[in-house]
Amino acid sequence: MSPQYDAIVVGGGPAGLVTALQLERIGWRALVIEADQLPRDRACGEGIMPTGIAELRTLGLELTGGMPLHGIAYRTGSGATARARFAEGPGRGILRTQLSAALFEKVRSRPRIEVLPGTRVIEIFCDDTGSRVLLDRGEQISSRLIVGADGLSSFTRRSSGLALPGRRFRRFGMRQHFLATPWDDCVQVYLREDVEAYVTPVDRDRIGVAFLWHADRLRPEPAGRRGFDSLLALFPLLKQELKSARSLDDTLAIGPLEQRTRSPVALRLALVGDASGYLDAITGEGLSLAFEQARVLAECLGDIDREVSRELEGALRLYRRRHRSLTRNYYRMTGALLRITRRPALYERLVRALQAAPDLFARLLSINMGTAAFSSIPPGAALRFVAAFLGLR
């Protein structure tokens, strides 16, 4: 008996919806199952890097909401500021609900994609003959492949035995929106020992403020406005900027952020986005990486005979290799930044060195996005950075 769908995508966040769109491009029929109603919100920084914007354009999606983001600025408590512009063009700051709505509308316009919002997957079965899911309403649905795109706390990852225990970093996040005119066209990152604040313009009169912190070293007040205010009090410069701003919504919290996996694939199953493994949001790469992984998965599946199990297995092995290549720089750069944020003297020197070598800072942003290699760093910029870092200039 033929399966009902070529792929079942578990999770209707941006990663899941983009995965469905990419699979539809190669002629696959996909079903997206989302536990919440759509469009949906989520605690996140709401910034999309230029590479993520480029991925959406390949799907014919040009975001009209939000604000262009032209780069990244790091600020320390001493007032040191390092700023770099994206060489690839602007990214975008956009409310998660607006992004979700735009993707949902795009998905609903595609004839080979169906969406089941407000429906939970409670069991997943994969064997040599095919795959299927059991829904909370008792129905079973079959497919050739299951794609887990269900986020940090992925049920798909856990139920398939791909989750690994243990974490190097125990980090949490919290976000709230404010009515305020953005005072910068970059994502601003305020650094303090064991905690950072992120300010993202998401509209002409609205900003998102997010905090990320090391929970083993910092214990803010309980989640909610008290918790948010206790974190804001650690950043006098930012608190002053928000003095006349009005909060627009309740806080949303998320964590722990780091999620480890044995592999992004198993028998007739693939993981995409945060579900496939995640370290931290400090570099802002989450959405862009998810969109790239969705495209790469579709590329790996595009030329196979979907009815031949051996070809599907080969495509998933290829996806595993390409997934590792896609995420390598992300894990290197993110891990390095996380270690630095635990040492105030080190991040103060880092920001001052990046301030002295903005061209190197811009190149590092490109390396993190996968559009440049470490070997492309200009020698002169590297020398200026090292000299400033060592206090020689």
**CA separation for the pair 116, 253 (Å, rounded):** 26
* Residue 301 pLDDT: 97
Q: Where is the domain boundary, 298, 322, 337?
A: 337
Residues 201 and 330 in one domain: no
C-alpha span between 131 and 292 (Å, rounded): 25
Report yes or no: 52 and 287 within 8 Å, Cβ to Cβ: yes
Considering the domain architecture, whether residues 217 and 354 belong to the same structural domain is answered as no
User: 282 and 240 share a domain?
Assistant: no
Q: For 391, how many CA atoms within 13 A lie in the half-sphere containing its CB?
A: 4
Residues 145 and 239 in one domain: no
Whether omega before 117 lies within 30 degrees of 0, making that bond cis, reads: no
Which letter, b or e, does each residue of 207-222 get, where b requires 16 or more Cβ atoms within 10 Å of its Cβ?
bbbbbbbbeeebebee
Amino acid identity at 266: A
**Do 18 and 294 contact (CB within 8 A), yes or no?**
yes
Among residues 192, 219, 254, the one where a domain terminates is 254
Residue 284 tokens, joined: 């802002």
Place of tokens 């200026």: 384
pLDDT per residue rounded down to tens, the chain (393 residues): 568 999 999 999 999 999 999 999 999 999 999 999 999 998 887 999 999 999 999 999 999 999 999 999 999 988 899 999 999 999 999 999 999 999 999 999 999 999 999 999 999 999 988 999 999 999 999 999 999 999 999 999 999 999 998 778 899 999 999 999 999 999 999 999 899 999 999 999 999 999 999 988 888 776 678 889 999 999 999 999 999 999 999 999 998 999 999 999 999 999 999 999 999 999 899 999 999 999 999 999 998 887 788 999 999 999 999 999 999 999 999 999 999 888 888 999 999 999 999 999 999 999 999 999 989 998 998 999 999 888 876
CATH number, domain of 48, equals 3.50.50.60
CA geometry: angle 55, 71, 249, nearest 5 deg: 85
Contact of 252 with 42, CB cutoff 8 Å:
yes
Contact 92, 182 (CB under 8 A): no
| Final residue before a domain boundary, out of 254, 278, 305 | 254
Compute the distance between CA of residue 210 and CA of residue 45 in angstroms, rounded to an integer.
6
On whether both 161 and 265 belong to a single domain, the answer is yes
Q: Tell whether 360 is covered by a domain.
A: yes
Both 12 and 125 in one domain: the answer is yes
**72 phi and psi angles, rounded to 5 deg:** -130, 140
Residues in a beta bridge with 247: 178
DSSP class of 274: G
Q: Residue 393: its pLDDT value, please?
A: 66
Within-domain flag for 82 = no
Q: Yes or no: say if 360 and 389 are a contact pair by the CB < 8 Å rule.
A: no
User: Does the residue 78 lie in any domain?
Assistant: no
Q: Do residues 40 and 131 both lie within one domain? A: yes
One domain for residues 329 and 180:
no
pLDDT digits (tens, 9 = 90+) for 173-183: 999 999 999 99
Same domain, 318 and 206: no
- Closest by Cα among 201, 168, 373 to 278: 168
Q: Please give the distance of CA 274 from its chain centroid, rounded to a whole number.
A: 7
34 shares a domain with 175: no
Do 152 and 278 touch, CB atoms closer than 8 A? yes
Secondary structure of residue 346 in the 3-state scheme: helix
Residue 88 falls inside a structural domain: no
Contact at 8 Å (CB) between 271 and 169?
no
Question: CB-hemisphere CA count at 13 Å for 356?
Answer: 19
Shared domain for 26 and 145, answered yes or no, is: yes
Q: Give me 364's structure tokens.
A: 């590092």
Q: Output the pLDDT for position 238.
A: 96
For 157, list phi and psi in degrees, rounded to 5. Answer: -60, -45
CA dihedral 285, 286, 287, 293 (to 10 degrees): 100
For the domain that residue 208 is a member of, what is the CATH number? Answer: 3.30.70
| Structural domain boundaries, residue 234 | 171-254
Residue 72 resides in a domain: no
Report the interhelical angle of 14-25 vs 286-301 (nearest 10°): 30
Query: For the chain, first and last CA: distance in Å?
Result: 72
Dihedral (Cα; 54, 256, 254, 350), 10-degree rounding: -60
Determine the Cα–Cα distance for residues 204 and 30; give it in Å rounded to an integer: 37
* Residue 245 · residue 179 · CB < 8 Å: yes
Specify if 14 maps to a domain: yes
Domain count, the chain: 3
Do 214 and 261 reside in the same domain of the chain? Answer: no
Residue 86 domain-assigned (yes or no): no
Pairing of strands 206-214, 71-76: unpaired
pTM: 0.95
What is the predicted pLDDT for the residue at 20?
A: 99
Whether 380 maps to a domain, the answer reads yes
